[in-house]
Structure 1
Amino acid sequence: MKSRTLPILILVLWSSAPLLWQLYTSFSTDQALVTPLAQLADRWTLEHYRSVISSNPPFFLYLLNSFFVGALSTLFTLLIALPAAYSLSKLSTAKSNIIRIILVGCALFPYVLLFLALLEIARSLSLGNNLFALALPYTALSQPLAILLLGSAFSSIPSELDDAARVEGLSLWNRFRWIYIPLLAPAIASTAILIFLFSWNEYPIALTWISDQSKLTLPVAMARIAGSSVHSVPYGAYAAATVLGAIPLIVLVIVFQKPIVSGLTSGAVKG
């Protein structure tokens, strides 16, 4: 047992090293960051957090903007992906395999190549500086992965269950409400978290679509906080903003830990 503990501890430390370094940076004075091994009387400080929290507009407004866009894009994606994934699971094997290959190609396509075209669309339709509109490209970009994940989950449901529900006279809406959604709750939860994380962390589209300071999402706002300029980089303030921005995601993952793990591992073991 001890022989397994050491590799696990090494893996945990290796994985958590970036977060630990951000924590250290966020609480360190500028002098301590320049000379990390020196003995300094004033090594620790809360000034970086004060500068971030006291920013104008308030830093927590950026958190709310990111949460709003992430929640909206997650909702839109699931509303479209769930019926699409159900339809995909009902196709013949040959047709579904072709569509899955196309979806994989779309999911792997580097979306940053599209953001200039999306910017032109935003300009022509006057969608700039609109958080509701910002959720639309996130919804479109999240569809391939969401359909693939949910399609695999739908395929795991026995067809006899669907046939029995039809015999009982349940409509498609009632089958979704009473059968599919309860059975696929872990898969839906894990898919929703992945979509939300993508929307929360997305940068290029948010940078080009939003210029109003009060409507910036967190990744864009972090690039403009604490007086950053060409001549100085506030590493401590960046680290403090990173830590504060990661707290909602950590809480979200902890709260939904069981359905996420269950959804991601469903189908991994059969028999």
Structure 2
Amino acid sequence: MMKQRQLWIVLLLAWSLAPMVWQLISSFSTNDALIATPMAFQERWTLQNYRELWQSNPPFWLYLINSSIVASVSTLLTLLLALPGAYGIARLPKLWRQNSRLFITAAALFPYVLLFLALLELARTFQLGNNLIALALPYSALSMPLALLLLSAAFEGLPQDLEDAACLEGMGLLQRLRWILIPLISPATASTGILVFLFAWNEYPVALTWISDAKMLTLPVAMARIAGTSVYSIPYGAYAAATVLGSIPLLVLVLIFQRQIVSGLTNGAVKG
């Protein structure tokens, strides 16, 4: 029985890691080798794909910085607004709380692509184009429903006695949030922050319309331009290298907060 479990774990890991391993191998391969014999491990290793990215104009690392700025600002803004909002939802009467979550769930499931034209008009009206900080505003708004759902479930899982004891000690609402409640839901906060960061890092349609300056492009838009640099051939190797470099910050972030992510998502799944 134990051997069967181990076998299934190995198969699951192979299934999950195979695309990433192949992408890594492709990033060190020449484009001709990938097109001719993509599954043959021959002498085709090269660093040219990474050199082209770093020597491009603008350099590829600039896109990584742009995406990091947008995703970080979006995550901080979302958490700053969602934490007090989620606390308010968790302390509503049961009927109001259920109705609130119903509307928030509907907002979270709403396909944001349908808001494309409205967001474009906002960018034109308020001149928000080519501004990385402004780009974080729609990202924060689009991530808010999911953040409210996860964090409100975490707040609701805290014993009311803790807050009552803090009130008896003379602590105000902001003090209770700052010193007691928010630290206790740090796993849920970390997992929510990671999800918001991932959305902002990978988002494409809004970034495509709000940013036109080549030096301010985010990573997904820049990668799309790499894939379309030639009419006659696709630079598979350069695109694979860009994918690898774009995945490294996310991988490091997830490895650092992996315990908080698993704990926060598990708690949010069983509360409510």
Q: Report the TM-score range of the alignment, normalised by the length of the smaller protein.
A: over 0.9
Aligned to 1:74: 75
TM normalised by structure 2 equals 0.95
Change (3 A) 1:100 1:230: same
Residues 61, 157 of structure 1: alpha-carbon distance in 2 compared, 3 angstrom cutoff:
same
Question: TM-score scaled to structure 1, two decimals?
Answer: 0.95
Q: Give runs of aligned pairs for residues 174-213 of structure 1, distance below 5 A.
A: 174-213=175-214
Using the alignment, how far apart are the partners of 1:140 and 1:81 within structure 2?
Answer: 10
- 1:225 is aligned to 226
SS of 1:119 mapped into structure 2: helix
Question: 19-28 or 212-221: which moved more?
Answer: 19-28
Considering only aligned residues, what root-mean-square deviation do their CA atoms show, in Å?
A: 1.7
Do the aligned partners of 1:32 and 1:40 also contact (CA within 8 Å) in 2?
no
Q: Please state how far the C-alpha of 1:35 moved relative to its aligned partner.
A: 2.4
Q: CA–CA distance in 1 between the matches of 2:37 and 2:26?
A: 10
Q: What is the rounded CA distance, in whole Å, between the counterparts of 2:51 and 2:13 in structure 1? A: 30
Relative to structure 1, is the Cα distance of residues 122 and 37 closer, same or farther in structure 2, using a 3 angstrom cutoff?
closer
Displacement of 1:97 in angstroms is 0.7
| AA in 1 matched with 2:146 | L
> How do residues 140-151 of structure 1 correspond to structure 2 at under 5 angstroms?
140-151=141-152
Q: Which residue of 2 aligns with 1:14?
A: 15
| Residue 241 of structure 1: aligned partner | 242
What is the CA–CA distance in structure 2 between the aligned matches of 1:138 and 1:264, rounded to whole Å?
A: 21
- Cα distance in 1, alignment partners of residues 40 and 73 from structure 2: 49
Q: Which position in structure 2 is the counterpart of 1:35?
A: 36
The Cα shift of 1:164 comes to: 1.4
Q: Which residue of 1 aligns with 2:27?
A: 26
Q: What SS does structure 1 have at the residue aligned with 2:233?
A: coil
- Report the Cα distance in structure 2 between the residues aligned to 1:137 and 1:160, rounded to whole angstroms: 37
Identity rate of aligned residues, in percent? 63
Q: Is the 8 A contact 1:32 1:38 kept in 2?
A: no
- Stretches of structure 1 lacking an aligned partner (at least 5 in a row): none
State how far apart, in whole Å, the 2-side matches of 1:170 and 1:122 are. 42
The offset of 1:161, in angstroms, is 1.2
Distance in 1 separating the partners of 2:38 and 2:268? 49
1:93-135 superposed Cα distances (whole Å, 9 cap, x missing partner):
1111111111111111111111221011100110000001000
User: 1:193: how far off?
Assistant: 0.3
Count of matched residue pairs: 270
For structure 2, the 5+ residue unaligned runs are: none
Change (3 A) 1:38 1:76: closer
Aligned with 1:192: secondary structure?
Answer: helix
Residue of structure 2 in register with 1:125 after alignment: 126
Deviations along 1:135-178, one digit per CA (max 9) or x if unpaired, are: 00001000000000000000001111111111211011110111
Question: Are positions 1:90 and 2:98 aligned together?
Answer: no
The code of the aligned residue for 1:111 comes to Y
- Report the equivalent of 2:100: 99
**Counterpart amino acid of residue 103 in structure 1:** I
CA deviations on 1:202-243 (whole Å, 9 max, x unpaired) are: 000000000001110100111223871332211110000000
